[in-house]
Structure 1
Amino acid sequence: MKKIAFIALASALFTGCASVQMESQGASDKAKQFSAPSPGNSGLYLYRDSAVGRALKKDLRVDGKCIGESAPDVFFYTEVAGNKEHVISTESEFSPNTLILLFEAGKNYFVRQYIRLGVFVGGADLEVIPEAQGKEAVAKLELATQGTCNSQ
């Protein structure tokens, strides 16, 4: 019985591919220009590029507001008020995982969401990525449409 459960979990984590609604190619290309955010704001790129858990979609939120449901090889771009802390969270197996970051106005920030193995399903976590590395990763991804989360 344990082998069957493990095989089912492994299949869900490593096969299939979740999909979400995407923005136009033009909008994606514009976001990948990495322009400075609006005055007084900070830019936030949230992205997912891991090969693990391709069949899973996981919510992303900033200060409790739904940014979107992630899928493999997508990113979201949003602006937040600069010079203040913001809470970035993602759903995980048992509870949300969060990062609290101080955003400096005028700068872009990159946060990577990745899927890790869990007890029953894959969990998600977040990590801050240096700007150069974040730009390189986002350049290979496509922009997803904001505002749809599984758990509203």
Structure 2
Amino acid sequence: MKHFFGIFTTAMVLLLAGCASVPMAPLDQDIQAKEFLPAPSKASLYIYRNESFGAAIPMTVSVNGKVLGQTAAKTYFRLNVVPGKYSVESHSENVSSLPLSVEAGKNYFVWQEVKMGMWTPRSLLQQVNESTGRAGVTESKLIAFSVSDKDLTPLDTPINAPLSASPAPPGDSVNQKLRELQNLQKDGVITEEEFQKKKQQLLEKL
């Protein structure tokens, strides 16, 4: 019992004390992000964690399966994404997933709420309204990450079918077949009569 209590106490200290370290973006980028102006033809997606609870534990965030990095207390990610469907995930003791459909010219805010876990914090992703999201982002700092906005393709983007070769113009196709027939006739594979018959059939297609 004492052993269990000691483990529990240690876990609580980790949850309530200290602060995880994550790479931060330059101040000018943080200031620009807090203007809340989406890029042309895109939507701005903010994923923020504005609680001090569990500050010692970094939490991994991914969008459409691509890992952005980790959050710490009072930090946020900001992405400019093309319209479409996305899946945001928070990885901690559990995995919390949130589907989103975004439209161009709008801001979207996802709150990474920290929850009590068995040994480490859990998390819950929630989409919040504009005023709540702006307040949470304003009191947080922008995280630096290496995933480019271009790397994030909406889940509902159709897969481009391989381009088929353009059909040859009818005249070119007939000429090619005529040459093939001439070679066949020259090599004795077909007779002169067969050659003339097939030649006439090809010419009728022009």
Q: TM-score, normalised by structure 1?
A: 0.90
Matches of 1:45 and 1:110 in 2, distance apart?
5
1:112 paired residue number: 111
**CA RMSD of superposed structures (Å):** 1.3
Matches of 1:44 and 1:54 in 2, distance apart?
23
Tell me which amino acid in the other structure corresponds to 1:52: F
Larger radius of gyration: 2
* Residue 75 of structure 1 pairs with residue 85 of structure 2: no
2:20 paired residue number: 18
Following superposition, the deviation at residue 92 of structure 1 comes to 2.3
Which runs of structure 2 are paired with 1:129-140 in the superposition (5 Å)? 129-140=128-139
Matches of 1:87 and 1:12 in 2, distance apart?
29
Matches of 1:24 and 1:137 in 2, distance apart?
19
Following superposition, the deviation at residue 105 of structure 1 comes to 1.7
* Residue 85 of structure 1 pairs with residue 90 of structure 2: no
Tell me which amino acid in the other structure corresponds to 1:92: S
Q: TM-score, normalised by structure 2?
A: 0.67
Q: Which has the higher strand share?
A: 1
Unaligned runs of 5+ in 1: none
Moved over 6 A (4+): none
1:147 paired residue number: 146
Matches of 2:133 and 2:115 in 1, distance apart?
20
Q: Which has the higher helix share?
A: 2
Following superposition, the deviation at residue 104 of structure 1 comes to 1.6
DSSP-derived class of the 1:28 partner: helix
Aligned positions, number: 145
Following superposition, the deviation at residue 141 of structure 1 comes to 1.3
Matches of 2:39 and 2:134 in 1, distance apart?
15
